[in-house]
Amino acid sequence: MKIKRYLFPIILSVVLLLGACSSNSSSTNKENGDNQANSSDEKFTFIYADVASQDSITNQEITALSDRLKERTDGRLSIDIFPAGQLGGEREIIENLQTGDVTLSINSVSVAVNFLPELQVFDIPYHFKSVEHGRYVFRKDGPLFNLLKDKYEAKGFKLFGYLDQRFRTLGTNKEVKTADDVQGLRVRAQENPNQLNTWKLLGANPTPMAFNELYTALEQGTVDAYENSYELITTMKLYEPISNVVNTNVGFQTIQLVGNLDYYNNLPGDLQTIFDEEANKAVENIINRYSEEQEKEFVKVLADHNVTVSSLPQEEIEKLRTKTLPVIDEIRKQVGDELVDTFLEEVESFK
């Protein structure tokens, strides 16, 4: 059930009050997490929020992560999970993640750009030839990851890993068979200036909109197209107000597992170690579950609901890529040469 925005502070107050009863974390551990010797009975509960449905792959794996944490720590560490926008849209969740009202989340990198401008490098469109190509570029402990992780900590976040829901795809009420067919589309775009610019360069009419407003906007005709992953299209029933899904390979639906840095630093050292190990496992599990076979299952759901699924020919995708090349120059102005050059070098180095 969707929670009204004015109830958000009340929900958080209750959650934080309950958490305080079991999680009187010590501030003396903020820097090095080594106070486990005198706080072995303290309990810590992450407050997790996202906009994905409760039965999504991500929420299944976060539930499994919480179960593993409770088992390995004898109940000292767990996660309270608030899926499906219960604690607000993605921008609101990230704001509260930064302040510590939310302490763990999987959210869209494209929305996090508003808090970490360096993440604009993820917005460079039409550069991955395959899912494996994109995953190589954003891999944990790769050059790009290592350049970005300190940027998170400077803003009060703790990055645990990048994930993806494979390529974003275009859902629309109109047929899109060529690059020219994109012109004039009223497209819902994420609250991200580079994605807005990309759509404008393609001749579309983008409208920035929170994800939890999209379904109603499609029903009311405010927009007639959007981009998203196959999973979100199917699990959130975004196929109901549309008739076509078109593969354009514009870019990854890149998401991230992120925590509040202060809360993480307050964990005793033994719990930090366990959380790191299990969070890495959760990231790997999610990536592995977003497989080609799983995507075929999502496509079948769309077909069962009379949605036509198609792919733009490669020559049409190349036309789209050429039109959006100015986005790279604009991103370079915003984040500097090092990040953009590292991204492009990683793109080229994939074998």
What would the mean pLDDT of 21-39 be, rounded to a whole number?
A: 45
Position 8 scores a pLDDT of 53
**Domains of the chain, first to last:** 5-165+254-291 (3.40.190.170), 169-252+293-349 (3.40.190.170)
63 pLDDT higher than 60: yes
Q: Please state whether beta strands 252-260 and 169-172 pair in parallel, antiparallel, or not at all (unpaired).
A: unpaired
Rounded to 5, what percent of the chain is helix, strand, coil?
Answer: 50, 15, 30
What would the mean pLDDT of 118-128 be, rounded to a whole number?
A: 95
Q: Quick check: 52 and 85 in contact, CB under 8 A?
A: no
Q: Quick check: 133 and 347 in contact, CB under 8 A?
A: yes
DSSP 150-212: HHHHHTTEEEEEEEEEEE-EEEESS---SGGGGTT-EEEE-S-HHHHHHHHHTT-EEEE--GG
Q: Quick check: 283 and 140 in contact, CB under 8 A?
A: yes
What would the mean pLDDT of 75-82 be, rounded to a whole number?
A: 98
Nearest CA to 193 out of 325, 96, 317, 327 is that of 327
Burial class (CB in 10 A: 0-12, 13-18, 19+), 333: exposed
Task: Give the whole-angstrom CA distance, residue 62 versus residue 283.
Answer: 9
CB atoms within 10 A of CB 96: 20
H or E stretch including 310? strand 308-311
Q: How many residues does the chain have?
A: 351
Confidence of residue 41 (pLDDT cuts 50, 70, 90): confident
What is the residue type of 68?
A: R
Confidence of residue 11 (pLDDT cuts 50, 70, 90): low
DSSP 130-145: SHHHHHHHT-TTSHHH
pTM: 0.84
Confidence of residue 10 (pLDDT cuts 50, 70, 90): low
Position 13 scores a pLDDT of 56
The overall longest dimension of the chain from CA atoms, in Å, is 66
What would the mean pLDDT of 326-342 be, rounded to a whole number?
A: 97
pLDDT in tens, 266-299: 999 999 999 999 999 999 999 999 999 999 999 9
238 pLDDT higher than 80: yes
Q: How far apart are the first and last CA of the chain?
A: 45
What would the mean pLDDT of 137-159 be, rounded to a whole number?
A: 96
Q: What is the mean pLDDT of the chain?
A: 90
Burial class (CB in 10 A: 0-12, 13-18, 19+), 160: buried
SS3 category, 23:
coil
